[in-house]
Structure 1
Amino acid sequence: MPDPAPTSRSTPAPNPDFELSLLAVPKAVPELRRTLSSHPYGHAPHPDIQLCVSELLSNVIRHLGEGTPVTVRVTGAQDGGRIRVAVTDPDPRAWPLLRRAGSDDETGRGLALLDAVSLRWGVEQGPDSKTVWCELGEG
């Protein structure tokens, strides 16, 4: 049985260091990874930022469809050295679920990866959108 997504609240950062609105399409994933690889957060580039953004954007593509408008935000080390990664999409009803993928499953590991590399993650629901976020330790 799938675990429900964590719902703990995190205060959105008022001024993200990186913010980009785009359409969630497969070619955007590697392009966004490349863009983020050149941005240091804290003292050095943080490879887990790329992983988290890739997984969150891929989830939007898979579960809401190609071409869904999203906003990606990354806020550098704040609150005890944490980096916040957030992806906002226009569907407040489609919440991600942490699943336990079997060894033969071809999908279902994205949120498990996010859960493994982040300090915590969750979902914030707005009236016309939701934001899936995670917090990482400073690289």
Structure 2
Amino acid sequence: MHTISEQPVRVPPAAQVREERPVCAPGHRLVRWVFPPAAAAVPEVRHLLRDVLRVWRVGPDVIDTLLLAVSELVSNAVTHAAPVTRRVRVAVGLDGVRVRLEVSDDHPFRPQVLVEAGEDAESGRGLFIIGRAVADADGDMCVLPLGLGKTIRVRVPAVA
């Protein structure tokens, strides 16, 4: 069991958790999880993220947006990056004003966010939907290079 602000947060046995509080930024919070690229990671990270955001008193609409985002991003990493990555890394931070969510993997493909899939597409709509939800929450989403892989970052105001 790992605690944040005196309230327990469930930790799955497969995940490694590290909480960091940067010395140079009082009041900032950061939690990181590392999961194997397996389907079981998706519901586990959703539960962990929900618990952390509630402890941090993030607004319920923001929590819903971030849970949608983390579900899709981790699911994408598990589905597409599993053959080339040993771990999926998830980080969530709060600077008092904005919540930052990052999902990283070692797959070299860097998708374009906010590109709508064709109306007949059977897949590929997830990032577009997340991008719209994040934009509706006055946030932003981007894809950043990370070594041979990538990080997809979502930032939204902590209160809707």
TM-score higher than 0.5 here? Answer: yes
Within 5 Å, which residues of 2 pair with 1:89-128?
Answer: 89-91=105-107, 93-98=108-113, 99-118=115-134, 119-128=139-148
> What one-letter code is carried by the residue in structure 2 that aligns with 1:115?
G
Q: Number of residues paired by the alignment? A: 124
Uncovered stretches (5+) of structure 1, i.e. residues with no partner:
1-12
Q: 1 or 2, which has the higher helix percentage?
A: 2
Inter-CA distance 90–76: structure 2 relative to 1 (3 Å threshold): same
Aligned to 2:80: 63
> What one-letter code is carried by the residue in structure 2 that aligns with 1:58?
S
RMSD, aligned α-carbons: 2.4
- In 2, the alpha carbon distance for the partners of 1:32 and 1:128 equals 24
Inter-CA distance 102–84: structure 2 relative to 1 (3 Å threshold): same
Cα deviation, residue 16, structure 1 = 4.9
Aligned to 1:54: 71
Instruction: Give the fraction of aligned pairs with identical amino acids, expressed as a percent.
Output: 29
Q: Tell whether the 8 Å contact from 1:24 to 1:67 is kept in structure 2 after alignment.
A: no
Within 5 Å, which residues of 2 pair with 1:1-139?
Answer: 16-39=29-52, 40=54, 41-45=56-60, 46-65=63-82, 68=85, 69-78=87-96, 81-91=97-107, 93-98=108-113, 99-118=115-134, 119-139=139-159
- In 2, the alpha carbon distance for the partners of 1:19 and 1:38 equals 13
When the two structures are superposed, what TM-score results if normalisation uses the length of structure 2? 0.65
Give the 3-state SS of the residue equivalent to 1:94 in structure 2: coil
When the two structures are superposed, what TM-score results if normalisation uses the length of structure 1? 0.74
Cα deviation, residue 110, structure 1 = 1.1
